[in-house]
Structure 1
Amino acid sequence: MAGTLILGAVFRALGAYPSGWRYPGAHNNPLGDPAVLRRTARAAEAAKLDYLFFGEWLATGPDLEFRDPDLLARLDPLSAIAYLAGVTKRIGLIATANSGYSDLYSLARQTASIDRLSAGRAGINVVTGADPRAAGNHGRDPHGATEPRYDEATEYLRALRLLWDSWEDDAFVRDRRGGRLIAPDKLHRTDARGENVRVTGPLNAARPVQGHLPIVHAGTSSRSRQLARELADIALVALPSLPEAVAFRSELIDRSRALGRRDAPRVVTPILPVVAETTAEARSIFDELLLLVPLDDGSALSQSPDFPANRSIRALSSVVGVPLGSPDLDDEVPQRVARRFSEGGQRLLELVETRTGRRVAGESAVTYRHLLATHAVPAAVIVGSGGEVADHLQEWFAAGAVDGFNVLTPFLNAQFEAFTSLVVPELQRRGLFRTEYEGRTLREHLGLSRPENLHGSAESAAAQRSA
């Protein structure tokens, strides 16, 4: 593939690995998140990353302590990127909003404003999540089937773009002599009326610097793919293998171009690198993260009613296809037992070996704890030196599987700074990533053209009919 890859950093203050906050020296206090946010943003911008990405979760509960501690209490995404607009200068800033709970007009106004405040560096990730707790928090009934949620999201995005285009770029004539500030015919109502979305506009905020903020959408379902090829600028997808990723990207590009799109969606996949100067050091870090994952070991913690059910020896027996009895979690896995593992069990052994260097009956043995923790925390983990992590990124990029990566960090600050100091320079040496920012806006970073105003176009009429 020609060109350079896309690199974005996902900000999770308590780390993207559930036990990351327990690692010695890791940030583990949500009250200190603002300082960590500033430090991460500055490190990301110094490394010339394309953007910082902020996910969203609209509820909390004690169960999150075990599966994703970062979701317990976190900074609001739109507030975070608005704040960073004044702290950074070049890096893109992407926030997440749920189309089921975010008021359309308000979101259009907020995002257009942040794009102005950041000089064109904002992006928006629109999701359709249906957590019953989030619905209750917003005074809504829980969402039902997938189809209605995606119908709503499609209408929502079409209307959002029309609202951004309420003002034409040259609407402000500023004629002091004639006393005319605007050209009235260049201010447009939106009039989007659909089954789920109704808004008139016009928006009381100037058109975004980028015309439209880049739109991100995540997922691999058929409706998610449809939305991405029609309306998204970045398709955020997690795919298990290189061949599947190549096929996904090829189909997405072909079908989006068949719709007449000028810019096909960029395909970005999440990756969680554990990186150090040497392979052995990186494996040691990840080995410690595995050991820090709370498992069902009979302790008071594991007896909590919110403790995940997939962290017991019984759950592991089901995965490997062999009754394991009641071994101690730190017992070595005997070779005679491992030989009987199912295909799923063998894959689990391979993951443990790749990530930790441990082998059954090897010098560094595999324990039941290693297997169970690896099963309990599914993540796109890559463990190695800066060069080895760069090898993986280059392989997927060169094969045409992806346009780039959303980098998840197991814990802050050390691991993110290891990525920016060890992996990014290696990608730069290989000519796979920029050494300086060339563009000013997020669209320019991503190689996306600036869209024309939709009002008055054939697309506008179609959007208003379907919105």
Structure 2
Amino acid sequence: MPGPARRMHLGLTIWPTGFHPGAWRLPGSRSDGNSNPRLLQQAARTAERGRFDFFFIGDRVVGLTTSQFAAPNEVLRPEALTLAANIAGITEHIGLITTVNTTYSEPYNVARAAATIDHLSGGRVGLNIVTGKNVEAARNFGREQHWDNAHRYDWATEYIQVLQLLWDSWEDDARVADPVTGRFVDPDRVHTIDFHGKFFSVDGPLNVERPVQGQIPIINAGASERSRELGAQYSDLRFTNSSTLGLEGARRYYDDLKSRLPRYGRSVSDQLIVPGVAVYVEESGRAAHEAYATLQALLETGPVHRARLSEALGVAVTDAAPDAPIGEVADLALLSDEGLRIVGSARELYGRERVTVAEVNASFIRGGLFKEVVGSPTQVADVLEEWFSSGAADGFMIFPPTVPHGVEAFVDLVVPELQRRGLHHRDYAGTTLREHFGLPRPPSRFATGVDAGAVAG
């Protein structure tokens, strides 16, 4: 008999003022999303109603006002573990992936907090491991400089090893709580980890029982060779921006990540590849394109952006009038393949042939982050299905351009269409994040008869 149909894994990433930097400027929008508990909770509940696998909480340990025009959510950010604990209390099924910067934290504290949230949520937490890109973070933590990439990844590798050992330091049945003998714990089932590496010396054990999931799922991102290898060894889910590479590029990226798993004794089903996609959806394609154009008109641009566009097109448009049609400013027949792709993408996103210099510039700026999909529910589902079914993705991280409207629009319009096509489940099959990912619960490596080398990487 054929096995169960492959299902699309969906995650919602929460940028509380909207993924589009101009979203908070729309009439009726909120600028306080990063500190508004009702808005954050509403977004999580909506994603759960849409049967999303997980609610993704990014984090950053700097607040740079210079980011406010391109990424206002990077200026103010709720602390991720704290927010995950809050969301755990108002949801029942959806997984909670919370970002941890390994360069600027300690594994014992994070292992303890994550295990606690895993118990509070009934086994729904996951950790997104980042090493940090902002050099300004160093002086927030008493350091003279931000470590280079190699140092950060060496540190992160040991960090994950310590996390996983600490989570295993309590065997599942270590708390015996025998009222007859009065023995609360069996000390033979609680283990020191005695980790002594280049960066960390940690005795253990943890003072929180083993997580509900046994091992909390690990997530990572990044396109560097080190990030790909770290992910191949430890990550249960890889979050990527491979959507910017186009369908064929994303397929190659997917194949590369999957091909690295066997060298660590893992199969291709042990890791999910989930690219990010920004989705602008309304009941009709026309309305979606209008909503996209409205937001793009709020994008702050300058001479630097126009110079970059000129370089990419191979035609100078720096001094062109912003509202001039691109076809009247540049001879499109002379554009490079990349230039034709940029103009073609703008026409697709705006839903019309006549696009202006300003519109091409705006779509070019935003298109470098994640693939943008604009259209009706059917049109959006068509794109997601093509990528999913052709070997480019195991699912998608959805970036709503506005909050809460963008979240609700995807759940109310796109999810039913995906369910109708048999691509997305109608109910949760399990209760933990590992079950949502289709991953078994591993035994503790300290348990009698367990092959430590076969547990958690």
- TM-score band, normalised by the shorter chain? over 0.9
Quote the Cα distance in structure 1 between the aligned partners of 2:226 and 2:401: 31
**Cα deviation, residue 163, structure 1:** 0.5
Amino acid of the structure 1 residue aligned with 2:255: S
Quote the Cα distance in structure 2 between the aligned partners of 1:449 and 1:93: 18
Mapping 1:217-236, distance limit 5 Å: 217-236=220-239
Partner residue of 1:167? 170
The alignment's TM-score, normalised by the length of structure 1, stands at: 0.91
Partner residue of 1:347? 341
Amino acid of the structure 2 residue aligned with 1:346: L
Quote the Cα distance in structure 1 between the aligned partners of 2:152 and 2:67: 24
Contact 1:271 1:381 in 2 (8 A): yes
1:322 aligns with 2:328: no
Partner residue of 1:306? none
Partner residue of 2:183? 180
Amino acid of the structure 1 residue aligned with 2:401: P
Partner residue of 2:88? 85
Deviations along 1:295-322, one digit per CA (max 9) or x if unpaired, are 22xxxxxxxxxxxx633x3333222111
Partner residue of 1:261? 266
Q: 2:127 aligns with which of 120, 124, 130?
A: 124
Mapping 1:31-430, distance limit 5 Å: 33-239=36-242, 240-261=245-266, 264-296=270-302, 310-311=304-305, 313-324=306-317, 326-335=319-328, 337-339=330-332, 340-359=334-353, 365-377=354-366, 378=368, 379-430=370-421
Contact 1:215 1:232 in 2 (8 A): yes
Amino acid of the structure 1 residue aligned with 2:446: H
Amino acid of the structure 1 residue aligned with 2:374: V
Assess, with a 3 A threshold, how the Cα gap between structure 1 residues 266 and 452 changes in structure 2: closer, same or farther. same
Contact 2:443 2:455 in 1 (8 A): no
Quote the Cα distance in structure 2 between the aligned partners of 1:189 and 1:336: 69
Amino acid of the structure 1 residue aligned with 2:324: D
* Unmatched tracts of structure 1, length 5 or more: 297-308, 360-364
Quote the Cα distance in structure 2 between the aligned partners of 1:152 and 1:460: 21
Quote the Cα distance in structure 2 between the aligned partners of 1:148 and 1:406: 29
Deviations along 1:336-372, one digit per CA (max 9) or x if unpaired, are 623233333211101101111232xxxxx21111011
Contact 1:322 1:342 in 2 (8 A): no
* Unmatched tracts of structure 2, length 5 or more: none
Amino acid of the structure 1 residue aligned with 2:271: P
1:436 aligns with 2:430: no
Assess, with a 3 A threshold, how the Cα gap between structure 1 residues 107 and 393 changes in structure 2: closer, same or farther. same
Amino acid of the structure 2 residue aligned with 1:276: E
Worse-matched range after superposition: 246-255 or 126-135:
246-255
Assess, with a 3 A threshold, how the Cα gap between structure 1 residues 15 and 344 changes in structure 2: closer, same or farther. same
Quote the Cα distance in structure 1 between the aligned partners of 2:209 and 2:90: 23
Contact 2:444 2:455 in 1 (8 A): no
Quote the Cα distance in structure 2 between the aligned partners of 1:241 and 1:197: 41
**Cα deviation, residue 31, structure 1:** 6.6
**Cα deviation, residue 54, structure 1:** 0.5
Quote the Cα distance in structure 2 between the aligned partners of 1:389 and 1:225: 29
Contact 2:415 2:424 in 1 (8 A): yes
Contact 1:217 1:228 in 2 (8 A): yes
Assess, with a 3 A threshold, how the Cα gap between structure 1 residues 69 and 336 changes in structure 2: closer, same or farther. closer
Quote the Cα distance in structure 1 between the aligned partners of 2:417 and 2:138: 45
Q: Percent identity?
A: 38
Amino acid of the structure 2 residue aligned with 1:3: R
Quote the Cα distance in structure 1 between the aligned partners of 2:194 and 2:454: 10
**Cα deviation, residue 397, structure 1:** 1.1
**Cα deviation, residue 461, structure 1:** 11
Contact 2:59 2:78 in 1 (8 A): no
**Cα deviation, residue 325, structure 1:** 5.2
**Cα deviation, residue 197, structure 1:** 2.2
1:8 aligns with 2:11: yes
Contact 1:123 1:215 in 2 (8 A): yes
The alignment's TM-score, normalised by the length of structure 2, stands at: 0.93
Quote the Cα distance in structure 1 between the aligned partners of 2:331 and 2:290: 23
Worse-matched range after superposition: 377-386 or 163-172:
377-386
**Cα deviation, residue 34, structure 1:** 1.2
Amino acid of the structure 1 residue aligned with 2:169: S
**Cα deviation, residue 271, structure 1:** 0.5
Deviations along 1:45-77, one digit per CA (max 9) or x if unpaired, are 111111100111111122111110111112111
**Cα deviation, residue 94, structure 1:** 0.7
Quote the Cα distance in structure 2 between the aligned partners of 1:381 and 1:130: 24
Contact 1:253 1:264 in 2 (8 A): no
**Cα deviation, residue 149, structure 1:** 1.1
**Cα deviation, residue 30, structure 1:** 4.0
Amino acid of the structure 2 residue aligned with 1:73: L
Amino acid of the structure 1 residue aligned with 2:304: N
**Cα deviation, residue 147, structure 1:** 1.5
